């Protein structure tokens, strides 16, 4: 949409159009971010890059609360159902890999 400088639109109409276009741009950027993340996340997990190797520190990455296991629940590896974890002790590598790939702890729970 091209607007001419001497357009007959009111200030309110122009502001509404700007808001609409800004929203569309934000949605497009968010979609691009999600697509990019979907492409690179499996590679990061596959090659086991550390935060340091990616040029990040723990504090830069931890913008949200880390999801923890709930004691008493059992978690199962989606790629190998024989591997289970009861939520005690250190997280197995398959749990860390699944979380890095975007899975939630609730998705790994045995129902």
pLDDT at 64: 47
**Residue ranges per domain, the chain?**
10-63, 65-108
pLDDT at 63: 46
Largest CA distance in the chain: 70
**What are the b/e assignments for 40-76, b being 16+ CB within 10 Å?**
eeeebbeeeeeeeeeeeeeeeeeeeeeeebeeeeebb
Which portions of the chain are predicted below pLDDT 70? 1-6, 57-67
pLDDT at 66: 57
């Amino acid at each position: 949409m091209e607007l001419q400088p001497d357009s007959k639109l009111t200030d309110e109409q122009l502001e509404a159009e700007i808001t609409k276009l800004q929203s569309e741009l934000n949605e497009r950027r968010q979609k691009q971010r999600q697509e990019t993340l979907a492409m690179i996340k499996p590679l990061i997990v596959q090659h086991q890059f550390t935060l340091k190797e990616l040029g990040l520190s723990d504090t830069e990455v931890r913008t949200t609360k880390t999801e923890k296991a709930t004691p008493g629940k059992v978690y199962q590896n989606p790629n190998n159902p024989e591997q289970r974890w009861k939520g005690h002790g250190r997280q197995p590598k398959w749990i860390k890999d699944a979380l890095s790939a975007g899975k939630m702890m609730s998705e790994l729970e045995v129902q």
